[in-house]
Amino acid sequence: MVPTPSDLVDACIFCGICSEVCPFYKATNDLKNGAMGKVEAAQRLFSGKELNDSDMETLLLCTRCDRCLGVCPVNIPVSDIVQGARAELRKKGNVPEKYKTIADAIIKTGSPTGLPAEKRRACIPDGYTPPAKAKYLYYTGCWSALRLPETSKATMELLRKANVDFTTLGEREWCCGLFLIDTGMLDESKRLAEANTLLLESTGAEVVVCECPSCHDVFKGIYPKLFRQPKYRVMHISEMLKELIDSGRLKVSKDAERKAIYKDPCPLVRRHGITDEPRAVVSSCTTLLEFDDNRENALCCGAPAGVKPVYPDVANRLAQMLLEEAKKKGADEIAMGCVFCMYHMAGVSKEADKYPKMLTLSQQVKEALK
């Protein structure tokens, strides 16, 4: 029997180890905003007590990055507790208006941006018409297709150069719905899981390759729980790029003078253990640098799960910490495994040349092609 969020709260021993690794404790220097503070607030909520402002704040200041789970001595997923608490707050009509706006945009328009679906065509390279069926389906994700279309365009150009049999959905692509999942809208998430799984299967693809690590996590780890196991396999773009470079289908020339620091995406490393493949890609193009907190200990960028729209200053502080460290370590560029991290971090500094430039793995490979 799957434990309820209330059961998970009851299992907590309140040792506090999780608080010091929580990105929101690091960003605010307030233990209330650490992981244990979130469990304490949820405990009050589930027991019917009224929440104060700091209780509400700590439950909303969580990206569900799972950094806390890695140090918990009794393996309590605080992210599941937060998800359950947000679902309870929704029932009470006690969530930020921005939560409702973003959720409505996903349900009605297919993306958290609210942009029309035809805008997704901007990322498709000139001269390429996606076939109806293919072995691989490239799934761009909302932020890549709609906000930074040059990132998914770079990936598709590489796939074409390597003669990969692939297609993409263009304006038929729909948000994976992670925001709905993160904020406790599980009924809506179940409907989306079914619709998206059937849509992806309709292409006949054997493998779905995701640009976005959150789409990758949702398709691979969450949809099977909400709907069923799909008929396709799910890969992150870093895995695909490594395969293409290793096989010689993409030939790159390493510039050892160029130094790139790699930013691990939280779901990719902590839920799927994908750490070596992106580093192999970066190392094939440049000299690899590391953040102090890397791999499973990576620092969250601070933006997902509604944090950026509700608490932009706190989210920006975490992004600033990452940018400052990259600069201090002498990186020429930041290799990004997540386009949403990239979009968020790029918006923090108004001075374009103050910090190392950010590139996705595909953009980095594209620059290194022989």
What are the pLDDT digits (tens) for 36-94? Answer: 999 999 999 999 999 999 999 999 999 999 999 999 999 999 999 999 999 999 999 99
| Contact between 339 and 211 (Cβ < 8 Å) | yes
Q: What is the pLDDT of residue 113?
A: 95
CA dihedral 35, 38, 40, 44 (to 10 degrees): -170
Q: What is the pLDDT of residue 353?
A: 78
Q: Provide CATH code, domain 252-368.
A: 3.40.50.1860
Q: What is the pLDDT of residue 104?
A: 97
Q: What is the pLDDT of residue 352?
A: 64
Q: What is the pLDDT of residue 267?
A: 97
What is the rounded end-to-end Cα distance, in angstroms, of the chain?
54
Rg value, the chain, Cα:
20
Question: How is the chain split into domains, by residue range?
Answer: 5-91, 98-242, 252-368
What is the distance between the alpha carbons of residues 190 and 193, in angstroms, rounded to a whole number?
5
Phi, psi of 318 (to 5 degrees): -65, -40
Residue 220 has, within 13 A of its CA and on its CB side, a CA count of 21
Q: Where are any strands of DSSP class E within the chain?
A: 136-139, 166-168, 207-210, 233-236, 255-263, 286-290, 333-336, 357-360
As given in the structure block, the two tokens for residue 14 are 């309140």
CA-to-CA dists, residue 362 to 8, 159, 186, 253, 368, angstroms: 40, 10, 33, 14, 10
In this prediction, the residues of the chain whose per-residue pLDDT falls under 50 are none
Fold equal for 98-242 and 252-368: yes
Q: What is the pLDDT of residue 2?
A: 82
What is the distance between the alpha carbons of residues 263 and 298, in angstroms, rounded to a whole number?
8
Q: What is the pLDDT of residue 148?
A: 97
Q: What is the pLDDT of residue 334?
A: 98
Q: What is the pLDDT of residue 146?
A: 97
Q: Which of 279, 320, 345, 326 is nearest to 143 (CA)?
A: 345
CATH architecture of 98-242: 3-Layer(aba) Sandwich (3.40)
What is the distance between the alpha carbons of residues 34 and 48, in angstroms, rounded to a whole number?
22
314-323's contacts with Cβ under 8 Å and 24+ in sequence apart are 314/24, 314/27, 314/28, 314/61, 315/344, 316/348, 317/27, 317/28, 318/23, 318/26, 318/27, 319/344, 319/345, 319/348, 320/348, 320/349, 321/26, 321/27, 322/263, 322/291, 323/348, 323/349, 323/355, 323/356
Q: What is the pLDDT of residue 370?
A: 87
Residues whose CB is less than 8 angstroms from the CB of residue 313 and which lie 6 or more positions away in sequence, other chains included: none
Q: Provide CATH code, domain 5-91.
A: 1.10.1060.10
pLDDT (tens digit per residue) in 333-344: 999 999 999 999
